[in-house]
């Protein structure tokens, strides 16, 4: 009973607890329901607000879309109009012109090619002279050797040797000598001379390493030509002796018969000559082969010397001809057209500047019939200005020219290189690729560079608007260092280039080291030519006249008198060669301009009087040197041995 009451009490407590828990859950449920209701009301409120904003945004978007379509329609109409106008402008533009340039358009490449061609031209002329002299000297030397072996050749024939076997001895000798000389000469031609030339070229151009190449045509044909010529000379020399019988060959050659000379017919002159002078005159004309070879050999030496000095004198005269007689300005400065006023501001009120002239200066390229081109500087003179105070143009006859509207003058060297003359049409392309066919009014004298002169009005007839960008300037007496002023001006803003004539003169002197080297080479080669000719012929003369010279020694001539007896003939022949060499060398020098034909230099030929004197003095000096050497041979002549009879 008691247990049941406890159980009942516990159940009531549990029921009470569950009722409280349920009441609590119901309260929480009502609270959550109220919260959800509030959230729903807030969401409904936001939805209402969002729907209002949506409606408002929709109205704004529709209004903006309507405005956009209106603007699009208006812009489309304007754009279509602009597009139509642009298409019309494109249709009016001419087809673009393409300019394809190769490396020949680079001035440095063209100049070094021109210098190489000039050296090649000189190298083509010189071997002709040396080849002729070499053949003559070889003929004389071999003839002397064969005549000295005259008795031995007779012995060979008496012993049964055929002419071919006897001739073979001398052919083998001359072939060996010729081949040895050819090897030495070929080595010098393909190794020594190219190295000298490239050393000089490196002072003028920036060159990479060079390679030596053997050119088979020159390396084989040259020696074959010389050796073949010497062998022909040997055959001719042997043939004249092999025609005789052994009995004739084993006897001494009969002395040359005396003969009257042309001077004897001039009694007024001949009768006043001394006995020894008459003997000298007879000896000169009796040995005609020696006379001709000596005279022509010395004439060749003299001509080569004059040619070398003509190169030197012509180069020396280039500077005064260009910068004293043609160009009167002291400085040329160039800027961009937009910076031109700024450059002029530097010159205004400058006490170093005496006066200047504004002009347009631009680079151009001249082209005539073929693909060959030359660079030229185009100088445009503004309206109302004259060029004569800064550049004096003269025609090819030396007459002064005043530049007029409608006239275009080009310097003479451009005409020589390209082959055009006055009244010809040539193409002139400017640095900005504008090109026009211009009518050349005439050619004017100029020596360094190529120039085209025209007025502003003439320029506008061929090209676009005139844009001054340069000045030709003369310094006042207050300017003490023109080169420094030019460098200072070039360092200022807006100035592209500034060159003084003083600086150009200094650069010119450095660039023409090659010319001086050519002159030295020519002098050395001329000296070698004169020495070989005179020494060979002098020793041959002494050998042929040994019995004669021994006879005059027996008659009481002292050694100095014997020297004078022989040396007088050599000096007279040398004098005749010098006299003949003067017109020959002058004519040779006159071909200098055509031989060199440099693209940017007109080398007007000059030969100063002192050059004639030096050339003659050097040639006579070579003759005196040979006489000093051959005098020893005269001293060694033993009269007793020389006058012994072979019989």
For residues 592-610, give the mean pLDDT.
Answer: 76
pLDDT band at 3 (very low <50, low <70, confident <90, very high): low
Residue 414 neighbours by CB under 8 Å, 6+ apart: 366, 374, 376, 450
Give tens-digit pLDDT for 514-553: 667 767 777 777 777 777 777 877 877 777 777 778 888 8
In a domain, 419, yes or no: yes
In a domain, 363, yes or no: yes
In a domain, 42, yes or no: yes
Least confident of 134-138, 234-238, 493-497, 587-591: 134-138
pLDDT band at 647 (very low <50, low <70, confident <90, very high): very low
In a domain, 350, yes or no: yes
Host domain of residue 379: 324-508
In a domain, 358, yes or no: yes
Domain boundary among 441, 476, 508: 508
Instruction: Please state the φ and ψ torsions of residue 372, each to the nearest 5 degrees.
Output: -75, 140
Domain boundary among 93, 108, 143: 93
Give tens-digit pLDDT for 506-516: 767 665 666 67
Domain count, the chain: 2
Give percent above pLDDT 70 in the chain.
85
Q: Are 319 and 313 in contact (CB under 8 A)?
A: no
- Rounded to whole angstroms, the Cα distance separating 455 from 405 reads 6
**For position 258, what pLDDT does the model report?**
59
**For position 275, what pLDDT does the model report?**
76
Domain boundary among 508, 536, 565: 508
Tell me what the pLDDT averaged over the chain comes to.
79
Integer angstrom CA distances of residue 55 from 46, 50, 51, 67: 14, 8, 6, 18
For residues 369-377, give the mean pLDDT.
Answer: 79
In a domain, 481, yes or no: yes
Residue 224: pLDDT over 80: yes
pLDDT band at 218 (very low <50, low <70, confident <90, very high): confident
pTM over 0.75? The answer is no
Q: How far separated are the first and last CA of the chain, in Å rounded?
A: 199
pLDDT band at 204 (very low <50, low <70, confident <90, very high): low
In a domain, 535, yes or no: no
In a domain, 361, yes or no: yes
Give tens-digit pLDDT for 59-100: 777 777 777 777 777 777 777 777 777 777 766 665 555 656
Better-scored residue on pLDDT, 353 or 432:
353
What are the beta bridge partners of residue 334? Answer: 470, 497
Better-scored residue on pLDDT, 362 or 70:
362
What does the DSSP 8-state code read for residue 252?
Answer: P
The full DSSP string for 137-202 is HHHHHHHHHHHHTHHHHHHHHHTT--HHHHHHHHHHHHHHHHHHHHHHHHHIIIIIHHHHHHHHHH
Residue 108 neighbours by CB under 8 Å, 6+ apart: 205
Give tens-digit pLDDT for 282-320: 777 777 777 887 888 788 888 888 888 888 888 888 888
For residues 181-185, give the mean pLDDT.
Answer: 83
């Amino acid at each position: 009973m008691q247990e049941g009451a406890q159980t009942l009490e516990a159940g009531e407590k549990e029921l009470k607890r569950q009722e409280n828990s349920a009441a609590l859950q119901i309260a929480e449920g009502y609270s959550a329901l109220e919260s959800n209701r509030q959230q729903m009301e807030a969401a409904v409120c936001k939805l209402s607000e969002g729907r209002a904003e949506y409606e408002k945004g929709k109205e704004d978007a529709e209004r903006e879309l309507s405005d956009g379509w209106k603007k699009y329609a208006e812009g489309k109409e304007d754009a279509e109009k602009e597009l139509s106008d642009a298409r019309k402008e494109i249709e009016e533009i001419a087809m673009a012109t393409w300019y394809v340039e190769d490396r020949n358009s680079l001035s440095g490449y063209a100049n070094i090619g021109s210098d190489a061609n000039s050296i090649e031209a000189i190298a083509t002329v010189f071997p002709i002279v040396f080849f002729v002299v070499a053949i003559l000297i070889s003929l004389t030397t071999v003839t002397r050797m064969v005549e000295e072996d005259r008795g031995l050749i007779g012995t060979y024939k008496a012993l049964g040797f055929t002419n071919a076997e006897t001739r073979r001895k001398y052919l083998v000798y001359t072939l060996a000598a010729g081949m040895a000389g050819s090897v030495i000469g070929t080595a010098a031609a393909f190794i020594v001379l190219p190295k000298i030339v490239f050393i000089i070229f490196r002072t003028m151009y920036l060159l990479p390493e060079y390679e030596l190449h053997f050119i088979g045509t020159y390396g084989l044909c040259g020696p074959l030509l010389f050796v073949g010529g010497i062998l022909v000379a040997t055959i001719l020399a042997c043939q004249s002796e092999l025609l005789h019988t052994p009995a004739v060959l084993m006897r001494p050659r009969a002395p040359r018969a005396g003969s009257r000379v042309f001077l004897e017919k001039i009694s007024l002159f001949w009768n006043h000559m001394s006995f020894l002078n008459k003997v000298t005159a007879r000896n000169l004309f009796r040995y005609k082969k020696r006379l001709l070879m000596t005279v022509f050999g010395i004439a060749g030496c003299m001509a080569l010397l004059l040619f070398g000095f003509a190169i030197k004198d012509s180069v020396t005269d280039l500077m005064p001809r260009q910068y004293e007689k043609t160009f009167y300005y002291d400085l040329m400065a160039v800027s961009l057209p937009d910076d031109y006023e700024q450059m002029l501001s530097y010159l205004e009120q400058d006490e170093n500047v005496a006066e200047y002239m504004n002009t347009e200066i631009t680079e151009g390229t001249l082209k005539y019939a073929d693909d060959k081109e030359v660079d030229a500087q185009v100088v445009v003179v503004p309206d109302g200005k004259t060029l004569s105070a800064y550049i004096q143009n003269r025609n090819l006859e030396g007459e002064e020219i005043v530049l007029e509207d409608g006239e275009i003058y080009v310097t003479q060297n451009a005409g020589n290189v390209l082959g055009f003359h006055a009244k010809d049409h040539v193409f002139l392309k400017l640095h900005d690729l504008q090109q026009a066919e211009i009518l050349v009014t005439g050619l004017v004298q100029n020596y360094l560079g190529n120039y085209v002169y025209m007025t502003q009005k003439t320029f506008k007839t061929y090209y676009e608007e005139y844009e001054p960008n340069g000045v030709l300037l003369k310094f006042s007496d207050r300017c003490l260092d023109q080169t420094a002023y030019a460098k200072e001006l070039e360092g200022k803003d807006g100035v592209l280039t500034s060159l003084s004539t003083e600086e150009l003169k200094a650069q010119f002197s450095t660039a023409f080291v090659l010319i001086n080297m050519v002159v030295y080479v020519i002098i050395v080669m001329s000296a070698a030519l004169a020495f070989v000719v005179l020494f060979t012929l002098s020793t041959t003369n002494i050998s042929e006249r040994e019995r004669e010279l021994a006879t005059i020694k027996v008659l009481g001539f002292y050694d100095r008198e014997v020297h004078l007896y022989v040396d007088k003939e050599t000096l007279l022949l040398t004098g005749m060669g010098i006299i003949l060499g003067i017109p020959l060398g002058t004519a040779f020098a006159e071909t200098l301009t055509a031989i060199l034909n440099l693209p940017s230099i007109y080398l007007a030929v000059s030969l100063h009087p002192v050059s004639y004197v030096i050339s003659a003095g050097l040639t006579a000096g070579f003759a005196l040197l040979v006489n000093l050497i051959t005098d020893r041979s005269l001293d060694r002549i033993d009269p007793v041995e020389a006058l012994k009879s072979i019989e």
